[in-house]
């Protein structure tokens, strides 16, 4: 069996990073990956403006008890007059600073009667002014190539007046489930069958990462059915995920079907629990990752081994999320001959590290553990770990995003 870290590294490098780019409207850019860096063409703010509702003055004009005639009322979006000596201009949040003014007095610190301003609390020089370029300077690199865009990024880009962005094409992923024992949700289920949870689950995981699910196909345990499904996926997809049929049983036909399609097997079996029967192959220069059939195993392998590959093929800069640490809280000792990934829930504490509470049942068929958990706790191979021990923690929020 291949050790986990080597398998993770090899899968992360198993696909090609994108080379082409396409144009995407800004309002549809969330989830896409930038194909070029974005450089600011505009200072933010583009000019000095008021951070408060208040009054603009020249600080040198202030004297206790002095009354300031109100020269103008200037709303945001209106160009102010140049401030005359000894006078004030009424401003509102976002109003441009008048030429000659250097300070804004909050309206709460003064009173206006008969168009005369009485400043009741001594102001500080230069307060409540947003300075031109204090947020962004023209020429700054706003976002690097390979950034996966979120709403916060869109806000920054919109503030520069951008309408369209250069992004990488969406990665096209095909999913193939196998097995005569599976029935699809919504269809009649025979006594000897179970519902297919892997197909919908993997489609949701792929979608969460921002890739495009092109097909979710199912093949019966026959060479002909597998051959037909693989042909469709190889034609339409950049990456193929198969589920089940990669072990050593008489009906584990996925590997032979890949070989018949001209594929070559690059690795098989990884020293991890759950998820040992995982394979990586290539056909027509496209990676095929063969996941184990148990839903918990498939979920774990996807999160820990497949998600870095997807991020790399999307063109993202950061493909390996951070591995955190937590303090295991358990009455049981864990020690395995494979790297074990426990489904755990992280509970914040007053200390630096969260408590990691394992789900009661850790079998690879316990699907209920997946939504209960917040991530995986890693138990190193041949290492006894118990209550209070610090272990690596793989947070769903990072590894499935």
Q: Could you tell me if residue 156 is inside a domain? A: yes
Q: Could you tell me if residue 174 is inside a domain? A: yes
* pLDDT at residue 251, rounded to an integer: 59
On whether both 176 and 310 belong to a single domain, the answer is yes
- Determine what percent of the chain is predicted with pLDDT higher than 90: 92
* Domains identified in the chain, total number: 4
On whether both 362 and 272 belong to a single domain, the answer is no
- Mean pLDDT score, 318-332: 97
83 close to 98: Cβ distance less than 8 angstroms:
yes
64: CATH: 2.170.190.11
Lowest-confidence region among 34-43, 103-112, 265-274: 265-274
On whether both 162 and 30 belong to a single domain, the answer is yes
On whether both 33 and 77 belong to a single domain, the answer is no
> How would you class 94 by CB atoms within 10 Å of its CB: exposed for 0-12, middle for 13-18, buried for 19 or more?
middle
336: CATH: 2.40.340.10
On whether both 199 and 294 belong to a single domain, the answer is yes
* pLDDT at residue 249, rounded to an integer: 57
For residue 88, how many C-alpha atoms fall within 13 Å in the half-sphere facing its CB?
Answer: 29
Per-chain mean pLDDT for the chain? 96
On whether both 191 and 302 belong to a single domain, the answer is yes
- pLDDT single digits (tens) 14-28: 999 999 999 999 999
On whether both 250 and 383 belong to a single domain, the answer is no
The first and second tokens of residue 59, run together, are 């600080």
* pLDDT at residue 268, rounded to an integer: 86
282: CATH: 3.40.980.10
The first and second tokens of residue 24, run together, are 């995407």
The answer on pLDDT for 310 being more than 70 is yes
* pLDDT at residue 183, rounded to an integer: 87
On whether both 378 and 336 belong to a single domain, the answer is yes
Q: Could you tell me if residue 319 is inside a domain? A: no
- pLDDT single digits (tens) 50-84: 999 999 999 999 999 999 999 999 999 999 999 99
On whether both 124 and 87 belong to a single domain, the answer is yes
On whether both 246 and 271 belong to a single domain, the answer is yes
The answer on pLDDT for 250 being more than 90 is no
Q: Could you tell me if residue 139 is inside a domain? A: no
On whether both 69 and 94 belong to a single domain, the answer is yes
| Domain ranges, residue 68 | 49-130
On whether both 353 and 242 belong to a single domain, the answer is no
């Amino acid at each position: 069996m291949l050790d986990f870290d080597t398998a993770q590294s090899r899968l992360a490098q198993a696909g090609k990073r994108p080379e082409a780019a396409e144009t995407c409207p800004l309002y549809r850019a969330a989830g896409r990956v930038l194909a070029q860096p974005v450089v600011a063409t505009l200072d933010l703010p583009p000019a000095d403006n008021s951070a408060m509702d208040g009054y603009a003055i020249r600080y040198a004009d202030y004297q206790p008890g002095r009354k300031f005639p109100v020269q103008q009322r200037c709303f945001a979006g209106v160009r102010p007059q140049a401030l005359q000596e000894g006078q004030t201009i009424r401003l509102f949040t976002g109003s441009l600073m008048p030429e000659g003014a250097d300070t804004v007095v909050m309206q709460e610190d003064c009173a206006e009667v008969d168009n005369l301003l009485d400043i009741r609390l001594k102001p500080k020089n230069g307060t409540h002014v947003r300075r031109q370029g204090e947020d962004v300077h023209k020429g700054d690199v706003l976002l690097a190539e390979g950034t996966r865009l979120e709403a916060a990024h869109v806000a920054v880009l919109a503030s520069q007046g951008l309408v369209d962005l250069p992004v990488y094409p969406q990665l096209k992923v095909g999913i193939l489930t196998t097995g005569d024992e599976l029935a699809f949700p919504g269809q009649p289920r025979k006594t000897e069958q179970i519902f297919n949870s892997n197909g919908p689950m993997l489609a949701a995981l792929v979608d969460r990462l921002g890739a495009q699910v092109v097909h979710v196909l199912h093949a019966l345990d026959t060479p002909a059915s597998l051959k037909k499904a693989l042909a469709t996926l190889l034609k339409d997809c950049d990456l193929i995920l198969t589920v089940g049929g990669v072990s050593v049983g008489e009906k584990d036909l996925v590997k032979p079907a890949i070989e018949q399609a001209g594929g070559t097997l690059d690795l098989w079996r990884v020293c991890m629990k759950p998820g040992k029967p995982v394979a990586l192959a290539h056909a027509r220069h496209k990676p095929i990752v063969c996941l184990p059939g148990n839903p918990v195993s498939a979920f774990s392998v996807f999160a820990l081994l497949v998600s870095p590959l997807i991020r790399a093929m999307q063109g993202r800069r950061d493909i390996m999320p951070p591995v955190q640490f937590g303090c295991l809280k358990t009455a049981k000792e864990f020690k395995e001959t494979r790297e074990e990934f426990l489904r755990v829930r992280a509970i914040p504490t007053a200390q630096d590290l969260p408590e990691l509470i394992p789900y009661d049942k850790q079998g690879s068929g316990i699907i209920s553990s997946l939504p209960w958990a917040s991530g995986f706790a890693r138990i190193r191979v041949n290492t006894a770990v118990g209550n209070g021990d610090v272990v690596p923690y793989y947070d769903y929020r990072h590894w499935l995003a």
